[in-house]
């Protein structure tokens, strides 16, 4: 299954808000619909929203009926700014938009050529991510013990990337290589990406898995049922601090206490060279109703105040290794993150 693809001039995407109960696909050539899909998490996952935004910029070029290059540039820049406003934390979004911005800045010919250049760049970004997922998966399985049980948080598989996934890509590769015994899935409150999406992916892949409430993880670790924890990432600072779905920091603390390896899996495009540490990472706050309601049903006092950050950041001291498409980055992270050539290839 492809959660997102270019089909006959339209972007076709799986509406992830409807999973696992319905596999519903949208097809659109409307920039606003694509941007809204990213904002409301119908399209989600750091690499995938970057891919979607890249396609969205291409879509914008096809909707322009202008011969004046100055006006064309303005309209494309409007689309780029629209996508940049959708989700603040995942750096892959801005990385993909910067690539399209460079295409626009170099363009000096016809709108027809611009359309081709932007679409080809979006397809290239999509294909590159699929390749990066494979490289991450192959690198990551080398860190796993035989017959292991893995705990993961949120969703970092085909629904979040252009390929098999980052953390979940490692899990599916381990299953194929018969190194995996079982997967435990955090439900991942408040939007239940683990319960709705990762469980759906495990079921599709016929991988033995157990869903747990987020606050059950410590008990499993105490019972020695977890060998490894692997999570994805939305942004990695130069010192190795890593932003991921809210609740990841909790797991990292528990992993250190129970002496369990805690791995982060992400492409090098997730490393933000402009961010020195986790305190500088912009953390998105979500709508209060996402915490107060489930499927539109109120589950708390309507008047209660809500604090609902979508992400937290895990300090680098709690991370055993960062698994990238260039190989495995071991602590200390700082200068190695600046120079991908120093990443250990395995």
249/217 Cα distance (integer angstroms): 12
**Is a pLDDT exceeding 80 seen at residue 340?**
no
Residue-wise pLDDT tens digits, 55-103: 999 999 998 877 788 889 999 999 999 999 999 999 999 999 999 999 9
**pLDDT, greater one: 235 or 65:** 235
* 330 within 8 A of 321, measured Cβ to Cβ: yes
Please compute, for residue 323, the number of CA atoms within 13 A of its CA located in the half-sphere on the CB side: 31
Judge whether 234 counts as a catalytic residue: yes
Identify the active-site residue in 186, 214, 234, 241: 234
Helix (H) or strand (E) holding 201: helix 199-205
Give the CA-trace dihedral at 235, 310, 197, 255, to 10 degrees: 70
Residue-wise pLDDT tens digits, 120-132: 999 999 999 999 9
Contacts of 183 (CB under 8 A, 6+ apart): 149, 150, 151, 152, 171, 202, 207, 208, 209, 210
161 closest CA partner among 232, 88, 231, 226: 232
3-state secondary structure 238-257: CCCCEEEECCHHHHHHHHHH
Q: What is the pLDDT of residue 343?
A: 53
Q: What is the pLDDT of residue 346?
A: 32
Residue-wise pLDDT tens digits, 242-268: 999 999 999 999 999 999 999 999 999
Q: Does the model's pTM come out above 0.85?
A: yes
Q: Could you give phi then psi for residue 259, rounded to 5 degrees?
A: 60, 50
The pLDDT of 207-226, averaged and rounded, is 98
Helix (H) or strand (E) holding 184: strand 180-186
Q: What is the pLDDT of residue 1?
A: 79
119/44 Cα distance (integer angstroms): 20
Angle at 20 between CA 17 and CA 22, to 5 degrees: 75
Three-class secondary structure of residue 137 per DSSP: helix
Q: What percent of the chain has pLDDT over 70?
A: 97
Q: What is the pLDDT of residue 278?
A: 95
Three-class secondary structure of residue 169 per DSSP: helix
């Amino acid at each position: 299954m492809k959660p997102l693809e270019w089909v006959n001039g339209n972007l076709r995407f799986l509406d992830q808000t409807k999973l696992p109960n319905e596999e519903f696909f949208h097809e659109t050539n409307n920039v606003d619909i694509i941007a809204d899909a990213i904002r409301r998490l119908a399209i989600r996952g750091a690499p995938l929203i970057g891919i979607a935004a890249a396609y969205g910029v291409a879509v914008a070029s096809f909707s322009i009926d202008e011969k004046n290059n100055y006006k064309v540039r303005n309209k494309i820049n409007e689309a780029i700014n629209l996508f940049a406003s959708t989700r603040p934390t995942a750096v892959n979004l801005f990385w993909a938009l910067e690539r399209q911005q460079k295409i626009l800045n170099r363009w000096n010919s016809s709108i027809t050529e611009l359309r081709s250049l932007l679409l080809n760049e979006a397809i290239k970004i999509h294909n590159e991510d699929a390749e990066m997922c494979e490289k991450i998966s192959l690198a990551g399985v080398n860190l796993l013990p035989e017959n292991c049980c893995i705990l993961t948080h949120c969703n970092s598989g085909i629904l979040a990337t252009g390929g098999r996934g980052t953390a979940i890509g490692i899990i599916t590769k381990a299953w194929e290589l018969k190194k995996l015994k079982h997967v435990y899935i955090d439900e991942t409150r408040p939007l239940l990406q683990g319960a709705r999406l990762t469980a759906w992916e495990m079921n599709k892949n016929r991988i033995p898995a157990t869903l747990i409430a987020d606050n059950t993880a410590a008990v499993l670790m105490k019972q020695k049922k977890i060998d490894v924890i692997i999570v994805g990432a939305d942004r990695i600072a130069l010192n190795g601090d890593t932003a991921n779905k809210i609740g990841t920091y909790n797991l990292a603390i528990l992993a250190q206490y129970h002496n369990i390896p805690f791995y982060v899996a992400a492409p090098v495009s997730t490393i933000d060279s402009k961010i020195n540490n986790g305190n500088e990472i912009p953390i998105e706050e979500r709508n209060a109703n996402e915490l107060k309601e489930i499927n539109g049903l109120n589950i708390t006092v309507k008047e209660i105040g809500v604090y609902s950050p979508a992400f937290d950041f895990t300090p680098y001291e709690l991370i055993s290794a960062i698994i990238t498409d260039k190989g495995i980055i071991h602590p200390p992270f700082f200068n190695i993150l600046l120079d991908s050539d120093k990443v250990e290839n395995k």
